[in-house]
């Protein structure tokens, strides 16, 4: 058996500027941290001509006979696409499980891609750098599956930690943040996550945002420019150990983000956000593209009990978390190795770029 995992993330600034429609012309950047909630992949070799995938999140079971080409469709399209990239059509049993429901704005789909790539590459004996794993996840999600998403989540899941990530037409750069341990601890302590009770399909929101960026919609472009500048300010504040303005920047970021596309907020989100601020939170936002998922708040410890009670009375549920540093990793490998004939069609691009960025 082989067990691999990849973390989900929370964006702390710059979200939305990682979409190609924006960064290829203007350059984008985000401040992002991975957290200790993970997506897991369990691999086993099976001695037959079939391939089996089971997902606990989607309550789905799929069995593939080797006589047919593996179809890239359905709820399991993403892990199927990774298997297809490595040319695997048989001899594998894969079980998928997550600590976070899909569609909740913490980048879980990209954690699926990254964890699956990590597991399969190790099983195939292919050494991939963190940068190459993230890049391959982007290729599969954005180019092959046509998902209208950005590149923040894949790099956050692959690298782990608190990072400043930049996006240009030339590529992606990941810079670990030089933040004092006490500042990191205080930041973690002051951030709260509340599940709104609903997941959402981010594709509609992101497709609209992408279209507005491609058309140079002045309001959307101005909002994205402002969000990018706030990310730079967040980075500077963290690195000098000053969190005093971060909550205000989160609030400004949220006000700008609501201009990216319709559907980013709704009456329940607006009500709960106002309720949180009225009870002592400084600022916050909906994680990910918006529309549901988790409400993230910056709140000093003395106000957290009151804010938590007010939001939970409204039906939200607080999720405790900690920052994590590892990124994608293998937790257990009991000597699992796929026979060469099971992945003879492994993609040339994967092999070519196996050593580094």
| Token pair in block for residue 21 | 């429609």
- Active-site annotation holder among 18, 153, 217, 251: 153
> DSSP readout, 82-145?
HHHHTT--SSEEEEEEESS-TTSSS-HHHHHHHHHHHHHHHHTT----HHHHHHHHHIIIIIIS
The residues that bridge with 194 in the sheet, in sequence order, are 295, 318
| Token pair in block for residue 226 | 């402002």
CA 201 to the chain's CA centroid: 14
Is residue 217 part of the annotated active site? The answer reads no
Please state, in angstroms and rounded to a whole number, the distance separating the CA atoms of residues 246 and 178: 17
Tally of residues, the chain: 357
Please state, in angstroms and rounded to a whole number, the distance separating the CA atoms of residues 57 and 273: 28
Decide: 187 and 243 in contact? Cβ < 8 Å.
yes
| Token pair in block for residue 117 | 């790539």
* Residues catalogued as catalytic: 153
């Amino acid at each position: 058996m082989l067990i691999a995992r990849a973390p989900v993330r929370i964006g702390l600034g710059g979200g939305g500027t990682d979409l190609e429609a924006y960064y290829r012309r203007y350059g984008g950047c985000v401040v992002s941290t991975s957290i200790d909630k993970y997506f897991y992949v369990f691999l086993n070799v099976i001695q037959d001509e079939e391939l089996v995938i089971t997902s606990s999140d989607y309550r789905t079971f799929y069995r593939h006979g080797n006589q047919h080409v593996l179809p890239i469709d359905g709820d399991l399209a993403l892990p199927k696409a990774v298997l297809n990239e490595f040319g695997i059509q048989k001899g594998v049993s894969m079980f998928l499980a997550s600590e976070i429901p899909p569609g909740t704005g913490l980048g879980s789909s990209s954690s699926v891609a990254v964890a699956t790539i990590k597991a399969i590459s190790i099983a195939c004996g292919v050494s991939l750098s963190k940068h190459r794993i993230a890049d391959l996840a982007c290729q599969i999600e954005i180019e092959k599956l046509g998902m209208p998403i950005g590149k923040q989540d894949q790099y956050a899941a692959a690298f782990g930690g608190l990072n400043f990530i930049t996006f240009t037409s030339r590529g992606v750069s990941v810079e670990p943040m030089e933040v004092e341990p006490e500042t990191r601890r205080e930041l973690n302590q002051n951030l709260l996550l509340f599940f709104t009770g609903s997941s959402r399909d981010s594709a509609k929101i992101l497709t609209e945002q992408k279209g507005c960026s491609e058309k140079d919609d002045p309001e959307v472009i101005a909002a994205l420019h402002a969000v990018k500048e706030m990310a730079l300010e967040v980075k500077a504040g963290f690195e000098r150990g000053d969190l005093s303005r971060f909550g205000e920047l989160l609030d400004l970021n949220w006000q700008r983000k609501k201009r990216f596309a319709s559907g980013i907020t709704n009456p329940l989100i607006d009500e709960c956000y106002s309720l949180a601020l009225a009870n002592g939170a400084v600022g916050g936002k909906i994680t990910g593209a918006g529309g549901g998922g988790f409400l993230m708040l910056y709140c000093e410890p003395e106000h957290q009990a009151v804010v938590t009670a007010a939001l939970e009375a409204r039906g939200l549920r607080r999720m405790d978390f900690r920052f994590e540093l590892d990124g994608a990793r293998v937790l257990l490998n009991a000597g699992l190795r796929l026979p060469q004939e099971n992945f003879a069609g492994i993609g040339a691009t994967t092999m070519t770029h196996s050593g580094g960025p």
